[in-house]
């Protein structure tokens, strides 16, 4: 008897953000259709709902796929213990990861803190990911007057903003398998290099589907291997599989360090002097009005599509934390609300990596320059022009730093700095130096 429980009560501050709620609504709607609208939906505290349902239907066993968020682990352990004490059979499974976090450990039994040995020595040297199971053929369904209508869960945002997302996402298993097929057919062969260029379609766009279980990492892993069965040493394939490994590493860190979403893993960053009274800078960053075209393009892509290219996630994150000196947790919260693939493990591990305070983080002095990043990875400005249309008339020579263009070029291109496009909110060189000076204070 398949059921779904929206448990915002147990989630607390980590209940789904706005874009996630829309994607989840669409995914549940599609799943319900697949089940002839017989999916039973509930809302509230799962610790109370599940025992009541078991009594009502006389069930002797319950099965679920494990979740790895700290609040989920705590809740599910309580449910499991209580049900077992009542004589109910409880079986849980791994459906969302390739390897269990507690099974990949160093020789001394401690967890890895660096990605490469975690993935190369830990994961790849252990049991290979299992093959996916087929879809169940037969199913029973629950009949209950307590079931909720999907439209009453408060998942669908009241604003019209979510309608933009419908243009980019088919939140269904069919949509997931379509994305996977397109990627394997047309992008995997150029993935190692192509993934760095936001204007190219060289990424899989599978992250939200993995997040909500519309496709499993096992399906993706084995489909990628099958797409290139005669060349397992292929660099494009290896790089793509290692990106699945990065996802595993994020969950691994969250499991072993459950404070990851809120606490610097490197304690010296507790002394970092974040900028106070930064609301104005933060607002301009959020809405893509920093005056740096690549940053603004990334932030506008996020709000328009619920997604951001991974290189841009690094660049805009570096700009927030290091050029604006704004605490990484503010960026994490904005991503949590705006990303359709908002995932507690990947989001918090990613932001700690960007900030330099995580387990396997980029060195703090690695500060992405948005101008050189733009020139290198969007040389013709295709990505910028797509998301910052007010700059679309600028020649590619000047689109990376419009304030450096001659006044005649700006006028001819219809760009009025300070009017229809902002001047840079900080100086890149000066702000970089301030960031290094701030970092020096963590060593005291």
Residue 5 has what pLDDT?
A: 95
* Catalytic residue check, 285: no
Q: For the residues 72-99, what does the mean pLDDT come to?
A: 96
Tell me: pLDDT of 58 over 80.
yes
Q: Which of 22, 169, 285, 351 is catalytic?
A: 351
* Catalytic residue check, 274: yes
Tell me: pLDDT of 140 over 90.
no
Least confident range of 144-153, 201-210, 258-267, 287-296: 144-153
Least confident range of 108-117, 230-239, 273-282, 387-396: 230-239
Q: Which of 328, 334, 336, 353 is catalytic?
A: 328
* Catalytic residue check, 351: yes
Q: Which of 9, 310, 375, 403 is catalytic?
A: 310
Which pLDDT tens digit goes with each residue over 372-400? 999 999 999 999 999 999 999 999 999 99
Which pLDDT tens digit goes with each residue over 303-345? 999 999 999 999 999 999 999 999 999 999 999 999 999 999 9
C-alpha 83/C-alpha 77 separation (Å) is 10
Higher pLDDT, 158 or 251: 251
Q: Which of 9, 243, 375, 390 is catalytic?
A: 243
Domains of the chain: 3-93 (3.40.50.620), 98-129+173-256 (1.25.40.80), 267-443 (1.10.579.10)
Residue 363 has what pLDDT?
A: 80
Tell me: pLDDT of 364 over 90.
no
Q: For the residues 163-171, what does the mean pLDDT come to?
A: 92
| Average pLDDT of the residues of the chain | 94
* Res. 22 pLDDT band, cuts 50 70 90: very high
Q: Which of 246, 375, 390, 403 is catalytic?
A: 246
* Catalytic residue check, 71: no
Q: Which of 14, 64, 161, 274 is catalytic?
A: 274
Tell me: pLDDT of 138 over 90.
no
């Amino acid at each position: 008897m398949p059921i779904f429980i929206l448990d915002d009560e147990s989630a607390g501050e980590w209940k789904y953000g706005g874009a996630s709620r829309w994607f989840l609504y669409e995914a549940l709607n599609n799943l319900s259709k697949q089940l002839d609208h017989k999916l039973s939906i509930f809302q509230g505290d799962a610790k109370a709902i599940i025992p009541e349902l078991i009594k009502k239907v006389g069930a002797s066993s319950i099965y679920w796929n494990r979740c790895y968020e700290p609040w989920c682990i705590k809740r599910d352990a309580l449910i499991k213990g209580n049900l077992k004490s009542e004589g109910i059979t409880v079986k849980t499974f791994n459906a969302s990861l390739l390897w269990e976090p507690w099974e990949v450990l160093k020789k001394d039994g401690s967890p890895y803190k660096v990605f490469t040995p975690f993935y190369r020595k830990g994961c790849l040297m252990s049991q290979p990911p299992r093959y996916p199971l087929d879809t169940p053929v037969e199913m029973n369904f629950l009949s209950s007057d307590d079931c909720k209508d999907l439209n009453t869960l408060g998942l669908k945002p009241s604003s019209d903003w979510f309608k933009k997302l419908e243009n980019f996402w088919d939140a269904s298993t069919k949509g997931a398998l379509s994305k996977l097929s397109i990627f394997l057919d047309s992008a995997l062969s150029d993935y190692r290099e192509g993934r760095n260029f936001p204007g190219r379609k060289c990424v899989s766009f599978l992250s939200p589907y993995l997040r909500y279980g519309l496709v499993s990492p096992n399906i993706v892993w084995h489909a990628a291997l099958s797409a290139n069965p005669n060349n397992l040493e292929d660099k494009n394939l290896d790089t793509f599989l290692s990106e699945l490994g990065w996802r595993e590493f994020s969950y691994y860190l969250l499991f072993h360090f459950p404070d990851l979403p809120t606490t610097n893993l490197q304690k010296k960053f507790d002394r970092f002097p974040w900028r106070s009274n930064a609301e104005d800078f933060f607002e301009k960053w959020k809405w893509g009005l920093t005056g740096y075209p690549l940053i603004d393009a990334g932030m506008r892509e996020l709000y328009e599509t619920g997604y951001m290219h991974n290189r841009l996630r690094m660049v805009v994150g570096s700009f927030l934390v290091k050029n604006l000196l704004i605490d990484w947790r503010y960026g994490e919260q904005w991503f949590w609300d705006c990303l359709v693939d908002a995932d507690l493990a990947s989001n918090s591990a990613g932001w700690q990596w960007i900030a330099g305070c995580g387990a396997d983080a980029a060195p703090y002095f690695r500060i992405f320059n948005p101008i050189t990043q733009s020139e290198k990875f969007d040389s013709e400005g295709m990505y910028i022009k797509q998301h910052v249309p007010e700059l679309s008339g600028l020649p590619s020579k000047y689109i990376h730093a419009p304030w450096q263009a001659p006044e005649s070029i700006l006028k001819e291109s219809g760009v009025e700095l300070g009017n229809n496009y902002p001047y840079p909110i900080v100086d890149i060189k000066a702000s970089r130096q301030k960031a290094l000076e701030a970092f020096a204070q963590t060593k005291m």
